[in-house]
């Protein structure tokens, strides 16, 4: 559809709306980030113009969210979200309003989640418009729900995870009443779709404060609901947090989830990622990492074919990081990691996953019939190839002849 809006693209839209007699301001998270002197990921516009009026002013407009008061203005390669000032009512599904009423800037601010996200900015005059005390809470490094926290979270339960994310990302404190409301409503997070929960978790891990976010989730009772009691309790959770702390700086959501789910059985991981609507690729990657986590101690002495099979896997770079982290967690040292690195330096990259020296057709040419024994011999020859005991087609053929001449089993 297009790239996220830049400040220049959003200001261009604002000027055009104002020239037509409408009120238009920067809104939400971009205002917060600008006041914190951070680069905003996106720039949204709020206006008293209705979606149909927005469409009449711009040449390229997508009306994908028009019934909620949102139009998407295309400016070059950028997409600027333009939302009509609105109030919302009756969140019967704990996620979206049943209907919206177009209103004014003040009413629009009052329907938002947290004060730090409820401010507007006039980019032409350089003036902040703050109906909710957002500037005061920014200065106090505080996350506070707008209005009554129970009502805000009752409207959209995902806001509980958002509050945790903002507190962790900015190293802010959750205001007491806001934290208490999250704790009261924590069990309701299970009513939110798994996809939205997973997306929110991944956003938490995009900043180097993942452990802080998970610890806060646990304190408020959210982690137990999101991950389940078998993951978010006892020694397993403490170990997960220790791993996560060492991996935060990498800002890798998959690796962060692997740190949390390390040591969990495949069935637990599969069920969790399936519930979150994660891809098969993510599910199998996390299960593979968990399966091999505890092999760090004997990895330097692992048989060469087994080691090469791990090295050939897409998850190998993440597994090495997990191994080093787990060794540090359990021993406070990295002796095994250093020995492994020394061994890996001796392995030819071209021999990690080489093409097999023999094929099924080669074995048939030696007189072997199609069947289980053919596959067994192929696997045995490839194992010796990975072990670097044989290196040429001729050597492979001779080794196969010996196996074929031996006693047939299965």
User: What percent of the chain is predicted at pLDDT more than 70?
Assistant: 96
d(CA 98, CA 262): 41
Q: Tell me the average pLDDT of the chain.
A: 94
Strand-pair partners of 127:
122
* pLDDT at residue 92, as a whole number: 54
Q: Which helix (H) or strand (E) holds 196?
A: helix 194-204
Output the six-digit token pair for 385.
Answer: 């190839």
Output the six-digit token pair for 295.
Answer: 């092999």
Report pLDDT digits (tens) over 303-324: 999 999 999 999 999 999 999 9
* pLDDT at residue 410, as a whole number: 44
* pLDDT at residue 66, as a whole number: 86
Phi, psi angle pair for 283, to nearest 5°? -60, -45
Report pLDDT digits (tens) over 389-399: 999 999 999 99
| Cβ atoms 307, 346 nearer than 8 A | no
Q: Which CA distances in Å does 330 have to 214, 293, 333, 336?
A: 21, 12, 8, 12
* pLDDT at residue 406, as a whole number: 78
Q: Where are the domains of the chain?
A: 1-140, 292-351, 360-405
Mean pLDDT across 268-288: 97
Q: Which numeric CATH code is attached to 1-140?
A: 3.30.460.10
| Higher pLDDT, residue 90 or 45 | 45
Among candidates 362, 322, 363, 356, which has minimal Cα distance to 340?
322
Report pLDDT digits (tens) over 105-164: 999 999 999 999 999 999 999 999 999 999 999 999 999 999 999 999 999 999 999 999
Confidence tier at 91 by pLDDT (50, 70, 90): low
Mean pLDDT across 186-194: 96
Among candidates 56, 72, 75, which has minimal Cα distance to 64?
72
| Cβ atoms 248, 275 nearer than 8 A | no
3-state SS assignment for residue 202: helix
Output the six-digit token pair for 193.
Answer: 């779709």
d(CA 178, CA 157): 13
Confidence tier at 369 by pLDDT (50, 70, 90): confident
Among candidates 190, 197, 164, which has minimal Cα distance to 273?
197
Output the six-digit token pair for 263.
Answer: 């040591």
Q: Which residues contact 361 (CB under 8 A, 6 or more apart)?
A: none
> Is residue 65's pLDDT more than 90?
no
DSSP single-letter state for residue 75: E
Residue 154: alpha-carbon gap to chain centroid? 25
* pLDDT at residue 1, as a whole number: 62
- Phi/psi zone of residue 301: left (φ > 0), alpha (ψ -120 to 50 degrees), beta? alpha
d(CA 224, CA 233): 8
- Phi/psi zone of residue 75: left (φ > 0), alpha (ψ -120 to 50 degrees), beta? beta
Q: Which CA distances in Å does 334 have to 247, 249, 317, 337, 405?
A: 15, 19, 16, 5, 47
Question: What does pTM read for this prediction?
Answer: 0.89
């Amino acid at each position: 559809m297009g790239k996220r809006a830049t400040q220049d693209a959003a200001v261009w839209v604002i000027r055009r709306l104002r020239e037509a007699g409408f009120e238009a301001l920067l809104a939400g998270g971009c205002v917060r980030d600008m006041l914190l002197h951070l680069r905003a990921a996106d720039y949204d516009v709020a206006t008293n113009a209705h979606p149909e009026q927005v469409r009449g002013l711009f040449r390229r407009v997508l009306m994908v969210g028009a019934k909620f008061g949102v139009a998407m203005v295309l400016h070059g390669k950028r997409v600027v979200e333009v939302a009509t000032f609105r109030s919302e009512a009756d969140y019967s599904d704990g996620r979206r309003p049943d209907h919206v009423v177009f209103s004014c800037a003040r009413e629009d601010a009052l329907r938002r989640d947290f004060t730090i996200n409820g401010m507007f900015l006039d980019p032409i005059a350089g003036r902040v418009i703050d109906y909710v005390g957002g500037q005061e809470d920014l200065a106090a490094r505080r996350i506070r729900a707008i209005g009554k926290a129970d009502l805000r979270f009752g409207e959209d339960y995902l806001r509980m995870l958002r509050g945790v994310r903002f507190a962790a990302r900015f190293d802010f404190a959750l205001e007491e009443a806001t934290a208490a409301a999250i704790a009261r409503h924590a069990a309701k997070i299970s009513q939110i779709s798994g996809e939205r929960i997973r997306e929110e978790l991944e956003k938490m891990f995009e900043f180097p404060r993942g452990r802080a976010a998970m610890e806060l989730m646990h304190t408020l009772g959210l982690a137990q609901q999101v991950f389940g009691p078998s993951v978010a309790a006892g020694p397993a959770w403490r170990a997960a947090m220790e791993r996560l702390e060492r991996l935060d700086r990498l800002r890798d959501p998959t690796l962060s989830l692997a740190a949390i789910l390390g040591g969990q059985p495949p069935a637990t991981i599969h069920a969790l990622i399936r519930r979150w609507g994660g891809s098969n690729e993510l599910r199998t990657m996390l299960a593979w990492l968990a399966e091999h986590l505890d092999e760090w101690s004997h990895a330097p002495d692992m048989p060469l074919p087994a080691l090469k099979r791990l090295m050939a896997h897409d998850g190998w770079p993440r597994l090495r990081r997990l191994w080093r982290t787990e060794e540090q967690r359990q021993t406070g040292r990295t002796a095994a990691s250093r020995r492994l690195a020394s061994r890996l330096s001796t392995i030819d990259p071209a021999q990690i996953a080489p093409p097999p020296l023999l094929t099924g057709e080669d074995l048939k040419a030696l007189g072997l019939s199609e069947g289980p024994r053919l596959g067994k011999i192929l696997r045995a020859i490839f194992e010796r190839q990975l072990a670097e005991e044989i290196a040429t087609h001729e050597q492979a053929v001779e080794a196969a002849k010996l196996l074929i001449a031996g006693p047939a089993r299965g």
